[in-house]
Amino acid sequence: MATASLRLTVGRPRRGPIGTIVETLRSIYQRRTLLLYLTMARVRQDGGSSLLGNLWLILDPAIQLAIYYFLVGIVLNRPQENFPLFLFAAILPWRWFTMALSSATESVRRHDKVMRQIAFPQIVLPLSAVAASTTSFFFGLIPLFSLYLVYPDRLTSWVLALPLVIAVQALWTLPFAIMFSALNVFLRDISSLVRHGLRLAFYVSPALFSFEKIQSVLAPYPPAHLILDLNPMAWILNAYRDLLYEGRSADWGALLAVALASIPFSLLSIYLFRRMSPSFVKVL
Amino acid sequence: MGKTPPILLSNVGVRYNMRLKKKRTLRRSITQASRFDAQGHFWALRNINLEIQDGETVAVIGGNGAGKSTLLMTLAGILAPDDGSIAVYGSIATLLHVGAGFNDELNAEENILLVGAFLGVPTSVMRKKIPGILDFAEIGEFAKSEVRTYSSGMRARLGFAVATSVDPDVLLIDEVLSTGDASFRDKARDRILELMQKARAVVYVTHDLSSAKEFCTRSIELEGGKIIADGPARPIIDSYEKKMRGKLR
């Protein structure tokens, strides 16, 4: 019942990289129920089993939006036109990216007890963290789209291209989530580094300010400018802005480049994770 | 009988890379020097040759750090041997520690399905077990509330009921025979005995030597990652007890 009828494990089975990746993907498919349940549990946790329950999945992003609107729009007085929409179009995806990486990084460590008792493909742990944050993201689209009731002229048919950008972001997030979850087992600091790194990245990203503004601010500092130019998240956020706020086509070339680069990165991260996973229980 | 033994380990070794495991203290480096090989790897298990036949209940005893938990994890398929080979015929499962895999935000039913998913049990099969589990654990109306709201006793009962809902061919037990409150304990004992009888083989890791003598037909003693004694339970455990008492003086 629990595991296969015959399990013969001989010494060190040497499967090549492709074999390892295929085996991992197959194990994910075999344990898709586990992946689903872990995701549901995580979403439930994020949504809160408090009084307002699942409403928090919508309220949380909305409140964050309100705070930044106040901070940047009113206090710092740097508003773009229709600032709430400008902000939210980038903050929501950034929230997704942050949540996915933060929860994925801790996901393996958190399950140390069950890993020591049951054999299961540990890769479902970071994957479920990403899946759960993706679900929260979709809930966040509700308040985002309700902003179009306030700014109806900003709504164009370009919005329909949104799923493409979402797919690219998901692909881009995966390898980071998988790698950080594995590395965090061996180096506990990864968790803090990720948290602070994301925070820093947020403030220099085009999320709060326009891309042009950031560019002009960072122009006297060439290294920082380079980071911005080469940062695929910046391109992705710009794409969201283009479709949702500017109502124009996004830079599909850049997005395609990100997507194509993400595929080998994802496969590599799966391979590395699988190679490292036998050591998890030995370290925890 | 001609049937293949459920468990067969041939020259199994499991090593830890000590650069990863920060338990490398000076004291250990000296006292356990023999377990480190030339590259500085620490062999938690070395040259393990073990064949467990149908109907055997094997107690695994030994001091801390002897390799007992490592052996269980290797049997359970959690650790792959770095040396040698291991064959397990039939399904194998560890009697889970209470609450293993539980998520506080889910209710009893959902947690049962979650643990089932961890174990790889098909949902349809697990669903059929739910009423039996809830009944055994005496959860009552709390079945629909989150496990967060349960008392520690309820959690223990539910955890135990789920852990013993598995019915594997090979049962691994890691120090779990004393759980729950007194009134539940008899029920728990009976359930475990039932499982032990149904299984083709049982491996029981414990420090509780009296229960080991009570339940087991055979015992092996681990020390320094190797099997230093292997035979009928009573004499092996008795001499181990004597050795331990001798050390305390």
Give A120-143 pLDDT, tens digit per residue: 999 999 999 999 999 989 988 888
CB pairs under 8 A between A and B: 129
Give B90-113 pLDDT, tens digit per residue: 888 888 887 788 888 888 999 999
The predicted structure's pLDDT at residue A67: 80
The predicted structure's pLDDT at residue B236: 92
Confidence bin at A4 (pLDDT 50/70/90):
very low
A interface with B, Cβ–Cβ < 8 A, is: 1-13, 30-31, 33-34, 36-38, 40-41, 44-45, 49, 113-120, 186, 278-279, 281-283
d(C-alpha A70, C-alpha A63), whole Å: 11
- Nearest Cα residue to A150 out of A70, A236, A245: A245
- Helices (runs of H) and strands (runs of E) counted in chain A: 12, 1
d(C-alpha A107, C-alpha A33), whole Å: 17
The residue type at B130? I
Is the pLDDT assigned to residue B244 strictly greater than 70?
Answer: yes
A1 contacts B168? CB cut-off 8 A: yes
| Residue ranges in chain B assigned as alpha helix (H) | 26-31, 68-75, 108-119, 123-137, 152-163, 182-198, 209-215, 233-248
The predicted structure's pLDDT at residue A205: 74
- Helices (runs of H) and strands (runs of E) counted in chain B: 8, 9
Cα A186 to the chain's mean position, in Å? 22
The predicted structure's pLDDT at residue B96: 80
**What mean pLDDT comes out for the span A209-233?**
69
Nearest to A118 among B83, B118, B125 (CB): B118
Contacts of A33 in chain B (CB under 8 A): 117, 122-123
Confidence bin at A172 (pLDDT 50/70/90):
very high
Nearest to A282 among B20, B97, B120 (CB): B20
B174 contacts A282? CB cut-off 8 A: no
B85 contacts A8? CB cut-off 8 A: yes
Is the pLDDT assigned to residue A52 strictly greater than 60?
Answer: no
The predicted structure's pLDDT at residue A2: 41
Q: Flag the least confident range among A266-275, B181-190, B193-202.
A: B181-190
Give the gap in angstroms from C-alpha A131 to the nearest C-alpha of chain B: 16
Is the pLDDT assigned to residue A106 strictly greater than 90?
Answer: yes
Checking ipTM against 0.95, whether it exceeds it is no
Contacts of A10 in chain B (CB under 8 A): 85
A119 contacts B76? CB cut-off 8 A: yes
**What mean pLDDT comes out for the span B157-186?**
78
The predicted structure's pLDDT at residue B146: 86
A7 contacts B77? CB cut-off 8 A: yes
Give the gap in angstroms from C-alpha B173 to the nearest C-alpha of chain A: 10
The predicted structure's pLDDT at residue B18: 65
- The pTM of this model reads 0.86
Q: Flag the least confident range among A83-92, A227-236, B45-54, B59-68.
A: A227-236
What is the average pLDDT score of chain A?
83
Give B122-151 pLDDT, tens digit per residue: 999 999 999 999 988 888 888 888 888 888
B167 contacts A279? CB cut-off 8 A: no
The predicted structure's pLDDT at residue B144: 87
> Is there a contact between A14 and B178 (Cβ–Cβ < 8 Å)?
no
Give the gap in angstroms from C-alpha A239 to the nearest C-alpha of chain B: 36
Contacts of A4 in chain B (CB under 8 A): 91
Is the pLDDT assigned to residue B194 strictly greater than 50?
Answer: yes
Contacts of B83 in chain A (CB under 8 A): 11
What are the two backbone dihedrals, phi and then psi, of residue B48, each rounded to the nearest 5 degrees? -85, 115
Nearest to A278 among B80, B86, B122 (CB): B80
